[in-house]
Chain A
Amino acid sequence: MKDKLIVSPAPHLHDKTTIPNVMWSVVIALIPALIASVYYWGFRALYLTLLGAAAAVITEALIQKLRKVPIAVADGSAFLTGMLLSYNIHAGAPWWLPVMGAVFAIAVGKQVFGGLGNNPVNPALLGRAFLLASWPTLMTGGWVKTKLGSINGITNLNMIHENLQGIAPKAYDLVTSATPLKVAQTLRDSTFVNSLTSEAGINIDISNKIMNSLLDMGTLKTLFWGNIGGCIGEVSVFALLLGAAYLLWKNIIEWRIPFFYIATVFVLSFLFGGIKGSGYSLSMPFFHIFAGGLMLGAFFMATDYTTSPLSKNGRIIYAIGCGLLTVVIRLVGGYPEGVSYSILFMNVMTPLIDKMTMPKAFGRLKK
């Protein structure tokens, strides 16, 4: 027998899950979405993603060197942040945009607070907010069409073309540009809708027509597969669900946050999502959960460990808050998309939620 045996406190077994294992698993889970975006936009999507990830890794390594702490970029957390940041940028953006965003995300969003586990908000989302504030036009304009030709997902364009061409140029512009959420947002703007009708000169409800085509099965299918304008990582609901299923199966994320987030958006957009005059439609909630960054946000960003609540009830409150804010921003606010800001806001609320939702020990009576 050797002279020195290991003496350590129980438990003497450990689950395989370690920090690198968690982080790299999330990276793996994000790969289907990357494949989808390369399919829709070509290799530029991959190139921008890798730039963001590389910038994040290098920034983290440099700062860790300066802080004289162990360089821990191999744990995958910086790579993941960079990747998620790039996922919030569209494929038509200049190359330096993801780089700037990633540097900011790591430096200001993470390392300033002491690194992994200490950041108050999701670094990737903070990076995105920084880009949106600094280069709003680059971030929200210049959406590129997918290779398959769609931009806002409306599939029966021809029908609309026939109806609208020459009658209402504004309506025509609307259905040939922007992202699906932008279309939905514009359609809720009554001044715009009134001007459409007056421009058309005839009494047809053009806005309703566009809304209906936005909500038809064809468009919803297109949204599901991801053949639409949008950010690199958010377009394909299908690819994101594949990755999410992997994370749920590997027990890396827990179901509560994504479920309550998406469910809240679903219910609220069913109740309040229509435009004036159009009744309830079951397609509306599907449109809202498939369009924009909800899937990416609900499964991959809101579930960020450090910035979401510890207790199970806390996670439910947090997720409902995210959903509520997302719908409010989308339907009432000035932005077509509300996922990032709602998650950032709820990140800030997390310590408070944690305090309010201390779980009751098994067998302890209610006070």
Chain B
Amino acid sequence: MRLRTFPGGVHPHDHKHLSASAKIENLPLPDRVVIPISQHIGSPSTPVVKVGDAVLTGQVIAEASGFISIPQHASISGKVTKIDIFPHPCGGKQTAIEITGDGLDEWIELIDDENYAALPVSEMKERVAAAGICGMGGAGFPTYVKLSPPPDKPIDTVILNGVECEPYLTSDYRLMMEHAEEIIKGLKLIIKIVNAKTGIIGIEANKPDAIALMEKLLAKEDSLSVVGLKLRYPQGAEKQLIYAATRRKVPSGGLPMAIGVVVQNVGTAAVVYEAIRFRKPLVERIITVTGSIVKNPRNLCARIGTPYTVLVDFCGGTTSPIGKVISGGPMMGFALPDLAAPMSKGSSGLVLMNDVEARLLEEKNCLHCARCVDVCPMNLLPSVIAAAVKYKNLDMAVDAGLNDCMKCGSCAYVCPAQIRLVQWIDTGKVRYTELQRAKK
């Protein structure tokens, strides 16, 4: 197979061997879960339970508020014990609902709609929305919104993202190996919903068995195919994946639907299927718990809201003191001050590093070496953006690409002067937004 890719990008060591062969295991029910009301891009959901209420697994505990929002569901049965500010897996603290479990895991009523594929599209979308599904690759955009392109933007291609280009993470890989059929069923449903013609599953070359398996399963499908991709970070980024798989370029500032494409994570496809067929709300996901110091790195199917400490304990704890806790992958994930945060719908991984791996290198003068320029997949001038932000010249930062940056971190990864390029760019984005707001 001829492997495809996109321009730019980097090749970090993938560290996937730690957990790649660990089959998905169900994490035993946690005693308590903490469910953030904001687990997605969009407005936070509104709690509809009070402290003391008894809840069933899958029961709505917070409703969608506004167009770009999703409901949250209880992920275990038990009692609401707190609605308060808790640490959030994206760093910082936010409102969350704490449920103390009764250990029974009593579910709301599910259905099995064998004729699910024949449902009207509007019903399918409603079920996806009601299940509280958001993108499971990390960005967390509400899925039903993506599945509702405006009529003037016809979609012809659905791409499933099985790239998993973040080092260390293997949850999507395990999912593809163990739940390929659900993924494919989900893909077909998504194609139907957006009225597309073809479906593509993009998988990187470091998962040859996943590529082979998907190819086998899709052999008889005319409109579905697998695209093998060269190893390169950030190939899982929407624009890069679309380019690699179809050679189409998403216009700057635009969305994939502008060029007839919808991208969904493979994990999202699987839960879309479950939501449409069983009306099953999104209450669990697969997460990789890994890192050189984790005793038994694993891929766990765990309930949303499970505290990270529970996951680490289940993996046997660590072999040496923790230096850094990363929620998500090491390239775009968040470093947390401790393990107190719970996992959310977008938590694809938990990576623990020791002091040496986590040590911070001192920021030096920019060498003008252009390594950051050479790797930037968006073809920007990262060093210029950073310098412009530093010297408070926002116009220049915008010229050099501030608003096109997707914060993939490739530039900072290669910078020999260890300049925290992404942090500077982030600062610039915040300042820019403030400025725009002040202008209004």
Contact = CB atoms under 8 A, between A and B. Distances in A.
Interface of A: 1-2, 5-15, 17-19, 21-22, 114-118, 254, 305-312, 315, 358-365
A305 B367 contact: yes
Contact of B249 (A18, A309, A312, A362): A362
Interface string B254-270: 10000000000000000
A19 B364 contact: yes
Contact of A310 (B335, B368, B413): B368
A17 B417 CA distance: 9
Interface stretch (B28-36, B202-210, B281-289, B353-361): B353-361
A6 B369 contact: no
From DSSP, what is the main secondary structure of chain B's interface residues? loop
A18 B418 contact: yes
Contact of A117 (B91, B353, B361, B367): B367
Contacts of A362: 7-8, 239, 243, 249, 252, 377-379, 404
B167 interface: yes
Given A18-B361, A254-B374, A9 B420 contact: yes
B326 interface: yes
B140 to A, nearest CB: 16
A254 to B, nearest CB: 6
B369 A1 contact: no
Contacts of B332: 10-11
B383 interface: yes
16 contacts: A5-B322, A7-B91, A9-B420, A10-B332, A11-B331, A15-B413, A18-B361, A18-B418, A19-B416, A116-B367, A307-B368, A311-B373, A360-B379, A361-B378, A361-B401, A363-B404
A5 B336 CA distance: 8
A9 B416 contact: no
Contacts of A363: 239, 249-252, 254, 378, 404
The 6 closest A-B pairs by CB, nearest first: A11-B409, A305-B369, A117-B365, A364-B252, A361-B404, A12-B330
Contact of A6 (B252, B324, B380): B324
Contacts, number: 163
A359 B370 CA distance: 12
Interface residues of B, number: 71
From DSSP, what is the main secondary structure of chain A's interface residues? loop
Given A115-B365, A363-B254, A310 B383 contact: yes
Contacts of A11: 330-332, 409-410, 412-413, 422
B411 to A, nearest CB: 9
A358 B371 CA distance: 15
Contacts of B426: 9
Contacts of B335: 5-10, 12
B414 interface: yes
B364 A310 contact: no
B68 interface: no
Nearest to B408: A11
A256 to B, nearest CB: 10
B336 A8 contact: no
A19 B368 CA distance: 12
Interface string B310-354: 000000000001111110001111111111000000000001010
Nearest to B330: A12
A293 to B, nearest CB: 23
B201 interface: no
Contact of B365 (A14, A17, A118): A118
Nearest to A1: B322
Given A7-B91, A363-B239, 13 more contacts: A7-B337, A10-B331, A10-B335, A12-B335, A13-B413, A15-B413, A22-B369, A22-B416, A114-B365, A116-B367, A254-B374, A310-B368, A362-B239
Contacts of A312: 373-374
B422 to A, nearest CB: 6
Which of A5, A11, A364 counts the most B-chain CB atoms under 10 A from its CB? A11
A194 B381 CA distance: 56
B268 to A, nearest CB: 22
A17 B11 CA distance: 13
A115 B321 CA distance: 39
Contact of A306 (B334, B336, B368, B413): B368
Interface in B88-141: 91
